């Protein structure tokens, strides 16, 4: 299902655990500021970045397959050409309900694979912007 309607986006924002692939330790970058915003609003943010050990005082996982906690949403802060591989990793997990690619990031073929597998997909939207618009 494409998560494009207001109702669908509101439903996605109800989930609690968000694995952020490409989460950055550098303040001022969207890949740091957006997950921090979500964390500050009560979401359980799980950083995924093979080049960092700790972000927001939390352990950082190298990849989605390494995450021990249950994941509701995979939020992607990586270039569009990396989305297919990330979606494949998400589809290997039974717990991921939603794959969300941030503004400027999309892969329609990978999104179709995820939707065919019963996952909700939101592409090319900022989670912080949508949260502010719908939940704040």
Q: Return the pLDDT at 136.
A: 61
Q: How much is the mean pLDDT over the chain?
A: 95
Q: Return the pLDDT at 135.
A: 81
- Tell me the domain boundaries of the chain: 6-119
CATH class, range 6-119: alpha beta
Question: pLDDT digit string (tens) for 65-98?
Answer: 999 999 999 999 999 999 999 999 999 999 999 9
pLDDT-derived band of residue 1, with 50, 70 and 90 as boundaries? Answer: low
Q: Return the pLDDT at 86.
A: 98
DSSP 102: P
Q: Return the pLDDT at 4.
A: 72
Give the pairing type, strands 58-59 and 54-55. antiparallel
Q: Return the pLDDT at 2.
A: 64
Tokens of 121: 């997909």
pLDDT higher than threshold 90 for residue 107: yes
What average pLDDT does range 113-131 have in this prediction?
Answer: 96
């Amino acid at each position: 299902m494409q998560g494009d309607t207001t109702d669908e986006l509101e439903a996605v924002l109800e989930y609690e655990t968000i694995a952020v692939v490409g989460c950055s330790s550098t303040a001022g970058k969207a890949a740091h500021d957006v997950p921090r915003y979500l964390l500050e609003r009560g979401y359980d943010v799980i950083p995924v970045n093979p080049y960092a050990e700790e972000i927001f005082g939390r352990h950082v996982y190298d990849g989605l397959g390494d995450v021990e906690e249950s994941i509701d949403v995979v939020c992607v802060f990586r270039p569009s050409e990396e989305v297919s591989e990330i979606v494949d990793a998400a589809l290997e997990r039974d717990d991921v309900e939603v794959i969300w690619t941030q503004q400027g990031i999309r892969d329609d073929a990978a999104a179709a694979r995820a939707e065919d597998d019963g996952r909700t997909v939101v592409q090319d939207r900022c989670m912080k912007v949508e949260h502010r618009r719908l939940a704040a």
